Structure 1
Amino acid sequence: MEEAPVQTPLPRLEIRNLVRRYDGRAVVNDVSLKVMPGQVTCLLGPSGCGKSTTLRIIAGVEMQDSGEIHVDGKLICDTVFRVPPERRQIGLMFQDFALFPHLSVAENVAFGLRTSRPEKRARVRELLERVHLLHHIDAFPHELSGGEQQRVALARALAPRPRIMLMDEPFSGLDNRLRDGIRDETLDILREEDTAVLLVTHEPEEAMRMADQIALMRDGRIVQQGAPYNVYNAPVDRSAMAFFSEINVIRGTVRNALTDTPFGQFLVPGAPDGLEVEIVIRPQHIKIDFDRGGRGPNPTPQDGTPARGVVERARFMGAESLLEFRMDHDGSRLKASVPNVFLPKAGTVLWLMIRRDRCFVFPVKG
């Protein structure tokens, strides 16, 4: 007896080849994305890259020039067919909580419900209990803190049981002390509801903390997608790497598949002679030999050749110290981060090594 084939679950949200133009310029340019039930996907990128426009198209408040949107495998919008926004079962949360000031907490949460009064009352109480605000059921928005208003906005968005939640930087207006706890609570509730979440942010740290998947956007396109670990540790280009952290860039020219650097020669297999390349490494992957000082370190094979640098500046950043060096080899400048407090004086000579397995080689663009 043959076993039944395993069915691949359908994405809760799927967008295919979305394009939106303003004055002939594509602000959303061939964007495709899938979000599964209970999954949090972050659209990450700088301001103006098309993140919020993509969200507005999915919500139905703006029309695409081409492309399709599917929910649970069913088409809800293309350039001919369009399900109205109120029938898409999509919730929205924005930086501005947009609570109605003249309505109580209970009335705000109940606003989008189209059920009987007893069912409405039960749903409101259930949600306010989940966000720990049942004791404020009769309060008005101006009587609540920013964090409490955010939780009311979440309860209101969840009340109609949306299949998808679109969130446009909803935590950016909160105090840093509150933000981590509130966004963790918010995502816990959304996952419990099996809601697919598409979150827009320009903060890499927030995306890394919250997302199951990250879609990195630039100039209207998604340039890289994947789990946070993979996007961070396997960047597609220098700009993608620089978006997540400070970087050091060492430039060189390929000769016989090798390029010279202060740390010895780097292999660039398959690159033609004369190609200008950039070897990019994060400050935390530059190592300092504290024991040998000016005598020079004994490197391991992965550390490559040691190089002398002269400290130009050292700053304490809280959890780490950031040192800026001028390299003896070619006068280039590099940054290294060191855990805890390490603040050598300007002019101090130290030997540096780099983690070759943490270096990325990219061709110079343009």
Structure 2
Amino acid sequence: MSSVTIAGVVKAYGDRRVLDAVDLHVADGSITSVLGASGCGKTTLLRIVAGFVRADAGSVTLGERVVEDGRTAVAPDRRGVGYVPQEGALFPHLDVAGNIMFGIPRGERTTSRLGELLELAELPADLAHRQPHQLSGGQQQRVAIARALAPAPRVILLDEPFSSLDAALRISAGKAVTRVLRHAGATALIVTHDQGEALSLADQVAVMRAGRFVQVDSPAGIYERPADAETAEFVGGASMIAAEVSGGIARCVAGAIPVAAADGRVRVLIRPEQVLLGPAAGAAVVGQVTEVGFYGAQVVVTLALADGTPLTARAPSARTPRPGDEVGVVIEGSAVTFGDES
């Protein structure tokens, strides 16, 4: 496998600049998720790396080989790239074996090689002669991964690989595909709009907005130290509360919270899992429950604090408060701060 280096890539369609001087490095054997809302440019970037779309400027390097420099480009079939489109796009007229072996030279299409690829993709051997319509969504996705890995590509690209699967299957399929990629030692670039997928599947997450990367970091770095308030709210539940910082403590309607910020007015970011709920009696901070969302093992509780400021908490469903209840509120841990907008 090879590293991927994207440097200063620009792409425009007419007056609309889809990619605006994009830089990204994907280390050899690592998995990077490109996370962004629909229309932000992430699929265009993936297609430029694959060679399906030409860049207007900038370069793409796979390992030591420049495959796109804005003037000339290596053809897609000569880049050594495996590509998995949305929904896998298996050939309906071929069985599992035919799909997996499609990209391998005929002389290398051996039973042993098929067995290796089925095992790599965690697929039982008895699926080899089934048609795609006889497979589950997760199995189809793993066949598509095996097909992309079969020619031993330098890099594998996945475009919204789980978008067609239901929520429960997305989680299990994501775990399975990640295991397959890591077992193969693959360098992978995954495009997704799903925050959970991006954070759970990758070694590195690149958050894209309006054709630019606003932050590239580890999953924990993106979630715990977001570059700006918009990124903070995009990657997970977030309550932004006005506060006054003095001596490393932000004082606000939710209480006193440790922060690493200079004195002055700020907004503090509070994640739902930081909000601990308890009895209102004797509590320094009290909120009134305005809404409760049930999600099985957990509930998401929306509170109104003393001045009406909303605060979101996540709690075990065994201790579900009801709308109208008053509860005590404690903020656990420290908080990230952003500039005051008042």
TM exceeding 0.5: yes
**Secondary structure of 2:181's match?**
helix
CA contact (8 A) 1:11 1:34 kept: no
Question: Aligned pair 1:294/2:246, yes or no?
Answer: no
Quote how far apart the aligned CAs of 1:52 are: 0.5
**Equivalent residue, structure 2, for 1:282:** 271
Structure 1 runs of 4+ with >6 Å offset = 253-259, 265-268
Aligned counterparts of 1:149 and 1:268: Cα–Cα separation in 2: 47
CA contact (8 A) 1:308 1:351 kept: yes
**Equivalent residue, structure 1, for 2:49:** 58
**Secondary structure of 2:44's match?**
helix
Question: Aligned pair 1:342/2:319, yes or no?
Answer: yes
Quote how far apart the aligned CAs of 1:213 are: 0.9
Aligned counterparts of 1:312 and 1:16: Cα–Cα separation in 2: 48
**Equivalent residue, structure 2, for 1:124:** 114
One-letter amino acid of the structure 2 residue matched with residue 317 of structure 1: Y
- Could you tell me which runs of 5 or more consecutive residues in structure 1 were left unpaired when the two chains were aligned: 1-9, 297-305
Q: Which moved more, 1:226-235 or 1:161-170?
A: 226-235
Quote how far apart the aligned CAs of 1:83 are: 0.7
Per-residue Cα deviation, 1:137-176 (whole angstroms, up to 9, x for no partner)? 3333233333332222122111111010000111222344
Aligned counterparts of 1:174 and 1:269: Cα–Cα separation in 2: 42
Aligned counterparts of 2:247 and 2:4: Cα–Cα separation in 1: 48
Aligned counterparts of 2:218 and 2:272: Cα–Cα separation in 1: 23
CA contact (8 A) 2:255 2:331 kept: no
One-letter amino acid of the structure 2 residue matched with residue 339 of structure 1: P
One-letter amino acid of the structure 1 residue matched with residue 281 of structure 2: G
CA contact (8 A) 2:223 2:236 kept: no
Quote how far apart the aligned CAs of 1:343 are: 3.2
Query: Which structure has the larger Rg over C-alpha atoms?
Result: 1
**RMSD over equivalenced CA pairs, Å:** 2.7
**Secondary structure of 1:295's match?**
coil
Aligned counterparts of 1:352 and 1:12: Cα–Cα separation in 2: 47
**Equivalent residue, structure 1, for 2:99:** 108
- The equivalences for 1:1-366 within 5 A come to 12-116=3-107, 119-122=108-111, 123-131=113-121, 132-252=123-243, 261-263=252-254, 269-270=261-262, 277-290=266-279, 293-296=280-283, 306-328=284-306, 330-355=307-332, 357-364=333-340
137 and 352 in structure 1: CA distance in 2 versus 1, 3 angstrom threshold: closer
TM-score normalised by the chain length of structure 2 = 0.88
Per-residue Cα deviation, 1:259-292 (whole angstroms, up to 9, x for no partner)? 76214577785467xx6x32221122122343xx
TM-score normalised by the chain length of structure 1 = 0.83
136 and 250 in structure 1: CA distance in 2 versus 1, 3 angstrom threshold: closer
CA contact (8 A) 1:254 1:268 kept: no
Aligned counterparts of 1:262 and 1:56: Cα–Cα separation in 2: 48
Aligned counterparts of 2:224 and 2:303: Cα–Cα separation in 1: 25
22 and 181 in structure 1: CA distance in 2 versus 1, 3 angstrom threshold: same
Q: Which moved more, 1:191-200 or 1:102-111?
A: 102-111
Aligned counterparts of 1:312 and 1:213: Cα–Cα separation in 2: 37
332 and 146 in structure 1: CA distance in 2 versus 1, 3 angstrom threshold: closer
- Could you tell me which runs of 5 or more consecutive residues in structure 2 were left unpaired when the two chains were aligned: none
Aligned counterparts of 2:161 and 2:288: Cα–Cα separation in 1: 44
Q: How many residues in Structure 1 have an aligned counterpart in Structure 2?
A: 339
One-letter amino acid of the structure 1 residue matched with residue 208 of structure 2: M
CA contact (8 A) 1:316 1:342 kept: no
Quote how far apart the aligned CAs of 1:256 are: 11
180 and 289 in structure 1: CA distance in 2 versus 1, 3 angstrom threshold: closer
**Secondary structure of 2:114's match?**
helix
Aligned counterparts of 2:125 and 2:261: Cα–Cα separation in 1: 63
CA contact (8 A) 1:288 1:352 kept: yes
Aligned counterparts of 1:210 and 1:262: Cα–Cα separation in 2: 36
